[in-house]
Amino acid sequence: MFDLRGLKDESVNGKWSCHHGTNVETASANVSILDKKVYLRLTGPTLIKMSEPVWLKCVSNKPMNTKLVRFYVNNKLYNTLTKRDSGCHSSFNYICRPNTCQCSADGKTYLIKYGGFESGGIFSIECKVDIHTFLEMSDCMMIKVTESPILEIMSTAVCSQSADIKLSCNASGELPVLHFRHWKHSFNGYVIRYLEGKRIANTSILYLDKCNYEDEGDYICSAWTRIENVVLSKNVSSKVAIKGLPIVTEKYIFKEPLLKLSVQIYAEPHPVNVSWFVENVQITNSTSHLLAFSKTLMERKQHGKLIKTIGFLANLTSKNFVNGRKTFCILVQNEIGNASEHFVIGDLEKEEVTGSNVHQYDIPETNLNYEDTESTQNDDHATGQLNEYEEIDKEELHESEDGYEIVHDYMEVL
């Protein structure tokens, strides 16, 4: 027997052994005297959503001599953290970034970010540390992972103009859906409106009557449920495309130094043919008339919200216009059909506005560009001078400023 008297502190820690007999039989014991009570705590959320990243923190009230912490998920080693002079390192042999893992300067706290669980259920998490050479401590916790509602939209993504659309958002999952939020309608990043769907059991249905270009865009369905204090939500989106006749969103008249007519057009599908007429006679590029057609970044309204989108700009410049009343007409055709818009031009010396959406300018033009190229801005003289664009009513597509119907039979598009 060996009796160690006097002060007993950490200096006696280690492996003690004794030898006995002619055969030198050996017995040993590990001695570990702690200067104070040591505890280890593993903390983190106990309830999370599936695929949600989670931070796990392993804390000791005493610096860890080996500066090594091991993290286990369901008894399988997930990762280790080591505190070195160069920083905090993971078992993947790289220095931790602040958004992946961390070690405290005093060597007591170690944090690691788990990427998320791909399935629901209950998972065990454990951290193990070496407090001393011969002393290992561990702590564990349980995490419950639950699934968000599973959403699926069943709908027709393409709508012919004036038809009806029905969007059905069906929710399923292990938990009942408590609430459907309003459908969110957006276009090219612009939030257009929020619409309340009709709920039937775990389905939210949105009806769009007589679709038109104002209805195109993305529709987002959102549902949520709650378990304890955790809100589980899920979004799913569907794109609604509208196919319709071309529409003229704005038109302009420039009088000086040459008569120039300009039209902004929006159409899906895109125009395949654009023709100009004067007094029922088709106009072609010549020494008397110059025609241009290009893409442009335009503004138009969707349910009262001004948005920017790609449209088209058609220009007609008449170099030899003779004063007198004449009617010019533009015919725009796409795969769906064709639409027309016209200008009634009087004497250039007279101030005559023939429609609320006709803008007239007496502005000298010094540089005209007639190349048929794509552009990201409106006509040089129209840009910056226009008020808010107002979308033309569908009835105006086939009416003149005087209110009479244009007869399309006289136009033969070649």
Domain boundaries in the chain? 40-146, 150-243, 247-403
Phi (first) and psi of residue 395, to 5 degrees: -65, -30
Residue pair 243/269 in contact by the 8 Å Cβ criterion: yes
- Residue 322 token pair: 């003779």
Burial class (CB in 10 A: 0-12, 13-18, 19+), 304: exposed
**What distance in Å separates the CA atoms of residue 265 and residue 248, rounded to the nearest whole number?**
5
**What distance in Å separates the CA atoms of residue 192 and residue 184, rounded to the nearest whole number?**
8
Residue pair 194/173 in contact by the 8 Å Cβ criterion: no
Domains 40-146 and 150-243 share a fold: yes
Alpha-carbon torsion, ordered 248, 216, 309, 345, to 10 deg = 10
Regarding beta strands 230-243 and 158-160, do their DSSP bridges make them parallel or antiparallel, or are they unpaired? parallel
- Residue 315 token pair: 């220009």
DSSP state of 97: P
CATH of domain 247-403: 2.60.40.10
Q: 150-243 domain in CATH 2.60.40.10? A: yes
Angstrom distances, CA of residue 378 to CA of 226, 312, 342, 385: 51, 9, 20, 11
Residue pair 247/301 in contact by the 8 Å Cβ criterion: no
Q: What is the pTM of this model?
A: 0.58
> How would you write the pLDDT of the chain (414 residues) with one tens digit per residue?
666 655 555 666 677 788 777 776 788 777 666 566 778 899 998 888 888 899 999 998 877 766 689 999 999 999 999 888 888 999 876 889 889 999 988 888 999 999 888 888 899 999 998 766 667 789 999 998 887 777 888 766 788 878 898 999 988 877 777 799 999 999 999 999 999 999 998 899 999 999 999 999 999 999 888 877 778 888 999 999 999 999 999 999 988 788 999 999 999 999 999 999 998 899 999 988 999 999 999 999 999 999 999 999 999 998 887 777 889 999 999 999 999 998 998 755 443 434 335 555 443 333 333 333 333 333 333 333 333 333 333 333 333 333 333 333 323 333
- Name the nearest CA neighbour of 324 among 344, 305, 300: 344
Three-state DSSP at 318 gives strand
Regarding beta strands 47-49 and 135-146, do their DSSP bridges make them parallel or antiparallel, or are they unpaired? parallel
User: Half-sphere exposure of residue 389, counting CA atoms within 13 Å on the CB side?
Assistant: 26
Q: What angle do CA 378, 383, 389 make, to 5 degrees?
A: 85
**What distance in Å separates the CA atoms of residue 407 and residue 341, rounded to the nearest whole number?**
12
What sections of 43-114 are H helices per DSSP? Answer: none
**What distance in Å separates the CA atoms of residue 105 and residue 87, rounded to the nearest whole number?**
9
Q: Say if residue 269 is preceded by a cis peptide, omega within 30 of 0.
A: yes
Q: Determine which helix (DSSP H) or strand (DSSP E) holds 136, and give its type and residue range.
A: strand 135-146
CATH of domain 40-146: 2.60.40.10
In the chain, what is the greatest distance between 2 CA atoms, to the nearest angstrom?
134
**What distance in Å separates the CA atoms of residue 382 and residue 357, rounded to the nearest whole number?**
13
**What distance in Å separates the CA atoms of residue 103 and residue 94, rounded to the nearest whole number?**
13
